[in-house]
């Protein structure tokens, strides 16, 4: 039977062909922790009696939520991760001097490699599928299990094939082959909000260009779905007919067309440009182009948060935000 890219990634990891619906025990290439959920994982790790990480080079810990700390509780939360990193001499520990949003920072560091199996105790871990890896979120105790054993249990997911065609509006490219990595990261990042376990884009020239200047942590393993692979559903979308969508409170799934939002005359109190979905340099440049020559309304608070320190440097020098 022919396989999807996800089935091939799992097959390569466990050494035999696997298909959607199977429950497997699979080694993990990268476990991603952050300062919100990892303290729970650390507690479970220590209560288990474990003395060492099963794969220390395959564990990354990023302090990207609570620093600088807003209060004593936040400072204590970060300290748990700092103490653990020091105790285990973590190579991939990212604190104030070299940190950022985990889902932007780790690809930038070359720690996410095509063909990897990746988990994190954060729902948007699916972002990393943009690099041709299987990446998904799990709970904090699941993370602890992977820290202790180097692997975890998975039910190989069914796949939905999404075919994008047509020419969309400005700033979004034309088809998958022409979407840059920032676009791809955003698409995969939001897969969880659409109810998916993961999102994945096959490796191509765009992926290769993105990774070309990065010291990859492992050898890349390239997988592609077979033409006659089995999918639970195939969606064909003409992106030229899509209108930008804005989410109303209080869920990303509560989407409405931008034209409806304008007609509804929704008052905006605060605008935020950033996050693990849209904090990359390409996103900031798009926003800068839209805002160029304009002023922020006096009743609106505008916050801009580059996703990493490297992006921040590029953003200040190339986007011209100082004029806003």
Q: Which residue range forms the structural domain that includes residue 249?
A: 243-319
Q: Are 159 and 57 in contact (CB under 8 A)?
A: no
What is the tens place of the pLDDT at every residue in 34-44? 999 999 999 99
Strand partners, 301: 270
Number of domains in the chain: 2
Are both 249 and 215 inside the same structural domain?
A: no
Write the CA distances from 198 to 4, 117, 130, 277, integer angstroms.
Answer: 13, 11, 10, 15
- Does residue 141 share a domain with residue 80? yes
Q: Are residues 191 and 228 in the same domain?
A: yes
- What is the DSSP code (8-state) at residue 287? H
**Same-domain pairing of 214 and 262:** no
Domain end residue (candidates: 239, 271, 295): 239
Instruction: Let me know if residue 26 belongs to a domain.
Output: yes
Query: Could you say which of 206, 239, 272 is where a domain stops?
Result: 239
**Candidate from 147-156, 212-221, 281-290 with smallest mean pLDDT:** 281-290
| pLDDT computed for residue 129 by the predictor | 97
Question: Could you tell me the two tokens for 221?
Answer: 């393993």
Is 206 in the same domain as 262? no
Q: Is 176 helix (H, G, I), strand (E, B) or coil?
A: helix
The CA distances from residue 246 to 133, 221, 258, in Å, are: 28, 37, 6
| Placement of tokens 């039977």 in the chain | 1
Residue-wise pLDDT for 262-307, tens only, equals: 899 888 899 999 899 989 988 898 889 989 999 999 999 999 999 9
Residue 324 is assigned to a structural domain of this protein = no
Q: Does residue 179 share a domain with residue 95?
A: yes
Q: What is the pairing mode between strands 59-62 and 30-34?
A: parallel
pTM here is: 0.90
User: What percent of the chain clears pLDDT 90, i.e. is strictly above it?
Assistant: 70
In a domain, 133, yes or no: yes
Task: Looking at the structure, tell me whether residues 185 and 131 fall in a common domain.
Answer: yes
Show which of 239, 266, 282 is a domain's final residue. Answer: 239
Q: Which of 275, 282, 283, 285 is CA-nearest to residue 307?
A: 275
| 155 and 235 housed in the same domain | yes
């Amino acid at each position: 039977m022919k396989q999807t890219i996800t089935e091939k990634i799992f097959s390569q990891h466990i050494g035999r062909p696997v298909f959607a619906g199977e429950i497997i025990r699979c080694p993990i290439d990268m476990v991603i922790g952050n300062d919100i959920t990892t303290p729970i994982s650390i507690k479970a790790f220590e209560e288990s009696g474990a003395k060492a990480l099963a794969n220390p080079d395959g564990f990354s810990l990023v302090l990207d939520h609570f620093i600088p700390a807003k209060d004593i509780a936040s400072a204590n939360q970060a300290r748990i991760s700092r103490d653990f990193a020091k105790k285990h001499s973590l190579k991939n520990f990212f604190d104030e001097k070299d940190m950022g949003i985990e889902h932007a920072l780790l690809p930038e560091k070359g720690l996410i490699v095509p063909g990897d199996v990746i988990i994190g105790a954060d729902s948007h871990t699916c972002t990393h599928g943009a690099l041709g890896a299987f990446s998904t979120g799990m709970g904090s105790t699941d993370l602890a299990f992977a820290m202790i054993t180097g692997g975890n249990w998975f039910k190989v997911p069914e796949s939905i094939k999404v075919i994008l065609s047509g020419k969309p509006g400005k700033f979004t490219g034309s088809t998958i082959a022409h979407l840059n990595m920032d676009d791809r990261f955003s698409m995969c990042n939001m897969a969880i909000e659409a109810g998916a376990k993961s999102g994945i884009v096959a490796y191509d020239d765009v992926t290769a260009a993105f990774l070309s200047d990065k010291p990859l942590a492992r050898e890349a393993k390239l997988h592609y779905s077979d033409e006659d692979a089995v999918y639970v559903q195939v969606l064909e979308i003409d992106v030229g007919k899509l209108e930008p969508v804005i989410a109303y409170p209080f869920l990303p799934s509560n989407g409405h067309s931008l034209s409806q939002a304008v007609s509804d005359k929704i008052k905006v109190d605060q605008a935020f440009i950033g996050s693990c979905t849209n904090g990359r340099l390409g996103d900031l440049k798009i926003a800068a182009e839209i805002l160029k020559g304009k002023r922020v309304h006096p009743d609106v608070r505008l916050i801009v948060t580059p996703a990493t320190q490297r992006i921040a440097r590029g953003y200040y020098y190339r986007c011209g935000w100082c004029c806003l």
